[in-house]
Amino acid sequence: MNKTVASLALVFLAAGVVNASALDRRVQINNVSSYDIVEFYASNTGTQDWQEDILGENILPSGSSAMVNIDDGTGYCKFDFLAVFDDGDQAISADNNVCELSEFDFTD
């Protein structure tokens, strides 16, 4: 009987660890383009507001990566990304599941 209880406890503990990691909304943004990213935004899919520039006063140079916490406190997993490059071009990627996505590449 004690083995059954211990086994069930381990199953529930493992399930809790998997669920917690599934809610990790940190995404490594890789700039594999030829231009620096000077602004980066992530907003809930379906909204019309890009919120604030996640990079702030920083930039993401060409060939560099940065870990970004996309968690906005809503529990939402689907986000649209907007990158603004130093030449003025923009790249939008819609409907990214940040609960499952660990890396995202911006390319030319």
Q: Where are the domains of the chain?
A: 25-106
Determine the Cα–Cα distance for residues 4 and 13; give it in Å rounded to an integer. 14
Model confidence pTM above 0.95 = no
Tell me the two tokens of residue 89.
Answer: 């071009």
Residues of the chain with pLDDT under 50: 1-22
> What is the fold, at CATH topology level, of the domain defined by 25-106?
Immunoglobulin-like (2.60.40)
Instruction: Annotate 32-68 with DSSP letters as a single string.
Output: -SSS-EEEEEEEETT-S---S-TTTT--B-TT-EEEE
pLDDT at 17: 41
